[in-house]
Amino acid sequence: MNKAAFHSGFISIIGRPNVGKSTLLNRMLQEKIAIVSDKPQTTRNRILGVKHLPHAQIVFLDTPGIHKPKYKLNQRMVKTALNTLEEVDLVFFMVEGTDAQPTARHGPSVGSGDQFVLEQLKGLETPVFLVLNKMDLIKKEKTIPLVEDFTRRFKFAEVVPISALTGDNVDRLIEVATGYLPVGEPVFPADVVTDQPVRFIAAETIREKILHHTREEIPYSVAVIIEEFKEETDRPVMIRAMILVERDSQKGILIGKKGEMLKTVGTEARIELEALLGTKVFLELWVKVQKNWRQDENVLKELGY
């Protein structure tokens, strides 16, 4: 890499659901702009994050997990992820080393979910890095046959093992990636970290807290719509948000006994938003049943899908 030149470009982070893409984005930016959860399909939109370096500006696109879609919502999520491949200079294909499928003859091998993503990459002219996440949890002797199996199936520009959670080797990943970006001027001003509007971040923050406190079908059936976002001098920011669910039983679970679940979600979201905005926040939440909203074109359009 020519260190005298300034590099500027776009990198898409793709992979199956729940492999740590958002955790990696937050780690690389050293700021939280993408919500994180142990639930698959947490990220539903394309999240843009900007990394500023003395010799480069890297624009990362965190994408929804690529999977075989069942609902219109999921179809749009996958389309969003695949569309970014046409926009970028480099692709990070992120996989979990811990999810390798053991075989008697060859040791760990590529699972069907990762193979499905690889099929979407065929014919792509953009360079692709294989980024093996959670390498702090897998022994080196298992890594070698797994990498060999991946590289038999696809020609990767680089293979970089990392741990998005601990940060191991993430700086190395950024350094190597920078050399693949074109020489050019910055795309964004130096103070820009994301292009997401505050209303979107507020909705995602509320949804993250719901994901942390609910199980079973609730995380996949929840959406958050910001009905009102009002900022006035010397007053708390007023945020009124509607939480959509698909069934009455889900509404009951989300509200909780004597409203305790909704109160917990609201308190945690308010505290995080106050830290983000640097001011007091008044947050009002209510829950509405909208049957089959994941198949409703109008609702999906309102949510930005």
Model pLDDT for residues 137-173, shown as the tens digit of each residue: 777 777 888 889 999 999 999 999 999 999 999 999 9
Are the C-beta atoms of 166 and 136 separated by less than 8 Å? yes
Of 167, 29, 19, nearest to 92 by C-alpha is 19
pLDDT at res. 196: 82
Segments forming the whole domain that contains residue 206? 198-302
Residue 197 has pLDDT above 80, yes or no: yes
Are the C-beta atoms of 65 and 17 separated by less than 8 Å? yes
Beta bridge partners of 183: 7
Considering the domain architecture, whether residues 212 and 258 belong to the same structural domain is answered as yes
For residue range 242-252, list pLDDT tens digits in order.
Answer: 999 999 999 99
Considering the domain architecture, whether residues 105 and 38 belong to the same structural domain is answered as yes
167 in any annotated domain: yes
Q: Is the whole model's pTM more than 0.85, yes or no?
A: no
Backbone angles phi and psi of 182, in degrees to 5:
-70, 155
Considering the domain architecture, whether residues 26 and 101 belong to the same structural domain is answered as yes
190 in any annotated domain: no
Considering the domain architecture, whether residues 161 and 69 belong to the same structural domain is answered as yes
83 in any annotated domain: yes
Considering the domain architecture, whether residues 159 and 277 belong to the same structural domain is answered as no
189 in any annotated domain: no
pLDDT at res. 104: 39
Considering the domain architecture, whether residues 36 and 100 belong to the same structural domain is answered as yes
208 in any annotated domain: yes
Question: On the CB side of 38, how many CA atoms lie within 13 Å of its CA?
Answer: 5
Q: What is the DSSP letter of 95?
A: E
CATH of the domain at 96: 3.40.50.300
Are the C-beta atoms of 91 and 124 separated by less than 8 Å? yes
1 in any annotated domain: no
Of 53, 64, 63, 66, nearest to 9 by C-alpha is 53
**Which of 143, 178, 213 delimits the end of a domain?**
178
Please state, in angstroms and rounded to a whole number, the distance separating the CA atoms of residues 266 and 261: 9
118 in any annotated domain: yes
Considering the domain architecture, whether residues 48 and 148 belong to the same structural domain is answered as yes
Q: Quick count: other Cβ atoms within 10 Å of Cβ 172?
A: 12
Considering the domain architecture, whether residues 159 and 254 belong to the same structural domain is answered as no
103 in any annotated domain: yes
How many structural domains are present in the chain?
2
Please state, in angstroms and rounded to a whole number, the distance separating the CA atoms of residues 183 and 193: 20
